[in-house]
């Protein structure tokens, strides 16, 4: 989209420069006045003058038909025959090479007046040509504006998606803060441990991203060396590079999606009962299957590209295989780290559940004790003073 807009803009600039040059030549008297007027000094017309002379009959046609559109009034010579002009028709030549109108004019005015008349006529024709080209330039500029509006709409869609993601993140953050305020000191310590695990996971993600960026830079360097050594493979290697970058971006997006779903599942497990935990486990299994399928598809695609490059040259095959092995090692390391994080998260989940059950039982016992004391106090008010220390003990 951007390339087509840039091409239209360049065409507008080139056409404007050509029109300006031709108009200056007409004003200065350097252009041939018509097809029948040859230079008297024996000079040969320039290529721009010849091109303008070939366009003049079609300019006559466009000027004579006021109902025809500016876009269809001028046709390229050799492609379509224009309609005959209605008002400004070309003069019929006589047997001696002069036109009837020229003979009449020679009888009434001198040669300077004839040349001045022809020059003014050519200037009018050229002004019309400039006006038509300006109209075409305006149409191209409108196309550029439409392309720019489409790019702006796409950017607005991306911004709306980012805003929605930020809102979801803020909602999750507020929920986490409210849970931290309601929990006891022990639960706060457990939450700190979970935050530490999340920090470690974030650092791991940063390290993985850095590794991916390093792999991309290394791949670009290798691609440059291959392009310098094999000039005929430049186009194919560029396409291969774009495909690999898109695959890496897709994998990164899938990893981010898996991480976001994993965090949401942890928060859900802390609030829901056993039935919701079983559903969460099934979701985790589906995510792992999806990740395994994506990994298999990515490995298959990379192997296919590796086989194609093998047919091109042995040196290129060896370098791509080396890069493939490095990428496989990196993916294996990422999988190992993800498994470690999963095991630690499962352990923390069990600890949190046990601690929550313990706290719930303790709170239930305290509530039962308080209720029994309140009932006894209602029956025997004289034991009210003895119940106060017990209540303070229970609250503590």
- For residues 252 and 335, give the distance between their C-alpha atoms in angstroms, rounded to a whole number: 13
- For residues 147 and 150, give the distance between their C-alpha atoms in angstroms, rounded to a whole number: 5
The pLDDT, as a whole number, for residue 142 is: 85
- For residues 129 and 52, give the distance between their C-alpha atoms in angstroms, rounded to a whole number: 10
Helix (H, G, I), strand (E, B) or coil at 93: strand
The pLDDT, as a whole number, for residue 8 is: 59
The pLDDT, as a whole number, for residue 206 is: 84
The pLDDT, as a whole number, for residue 172 is: 79
pTM of the predicted model as reported, rounded to 2 decimal places: 0.21
* pLDDT tens sequence for the chain (396 residues): 456 556 656 665 666 667 667 666 666 654 444 444 444 444 444 444 444 444 444 433 434 344 443 333 333 333 333 333 333 434 444 444 444 444 454 445 578 888 888 888 888 888 888 888 888 888 888 888 888 888 788 878 877 887 887 788 788 788 877 766 776 667 777 778 888 888 888 888 888 788 888 888 887 887 777 767 777 766 777 787 888 888 888 888 888 887 788 777 777 767 766 776 677 678 778 878 887 877 777 778 778 777 776 677 777 666 767 888 888 888 888 888 888 888 888 888 888 888 888 888 888 888 888 888 888 877 765 555 555 555 455 444
For the chain, counts of helices (H) and of strands (E): 9, 0
Could you say which DSSP state residue 73 is in? S
């Amino acid at each position: 989209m951007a390339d087509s807009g840039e091409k239209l803009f360049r065409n507008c600039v080139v056409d404007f420069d050509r029109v300006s040059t031709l108009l200056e030549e007409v004003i200065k008297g350097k252009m041939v006045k018509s097809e029948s007027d040859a230079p008297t000094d024996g000079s040969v017309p320039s290529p721009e003058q010849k091109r303008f002379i070939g366009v003049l009959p079609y300019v006559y046609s466009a000027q004579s038909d006021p109902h025809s559109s500016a876009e269809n009034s001028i046709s390229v010579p050799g492609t379509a025959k224009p309609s005959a002009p209605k008002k400004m028709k070309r003069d019929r030549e006589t047997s001696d090479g002069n036109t009837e109108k020229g003979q009449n004019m020679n009888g009434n005015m001198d040669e300077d007046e004839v040349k001045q008349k022809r020059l003014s006529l050519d200037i009018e024709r050229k002004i019309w040509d400039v006006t038509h080209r300006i109209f075409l330039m305006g149409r191209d500029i409108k196309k550029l504006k439409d392309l720019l509006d489409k790019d702006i709409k796409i950017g607005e869609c991306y911004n709306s998606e980012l805003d929605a993601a930020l809102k979801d993140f803020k909602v999750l953050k507020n929920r986490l803060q409210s849970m931290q305020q309601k929990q006891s000191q022990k639960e706060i310590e457990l939450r700190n441990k979970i935050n530490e695990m999340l920090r470690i996971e974030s650092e791991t993600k940063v390290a993985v991203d850095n590794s991916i960026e390093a792999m991309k830079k290394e791949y670009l360097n290798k691609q440059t060396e291959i392009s310098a050594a094999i000039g005929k493979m430049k186009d194919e290697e560029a396409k291969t590079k774009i495909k690999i970058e898109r695959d890496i971006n897709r994998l990164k997006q899938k990893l981010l999606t898996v991480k976001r779903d994993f965090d949401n599942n942890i928060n859900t497990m802390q609030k829901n009962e056993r039935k919701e935990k079983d559903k969460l486990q099934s979701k985790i299994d589906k995510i792992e299957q999806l990740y395994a399928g994506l990994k298999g598809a990515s490995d298959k695609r990379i192997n296919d590209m590796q086989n194609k490059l093998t047919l091109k040259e042995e040196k290129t095959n060896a370098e791509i295989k080396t890069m493939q092995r490095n990428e496989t090692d990196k993916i294996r390391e990422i999988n190992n780290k993800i498994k470690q994080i999963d095991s630690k998260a499962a352990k923390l989940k069990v600890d949190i559940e046990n601690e929550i059950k313990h706290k719930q039982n303790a709170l239930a016992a305290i509530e039962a004790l308080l209720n029994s004391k309140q009932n006894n106090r209602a029956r025997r008010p004289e034991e009210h003073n003895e119940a106060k220390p017990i209540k303070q003990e229970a609250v503590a």
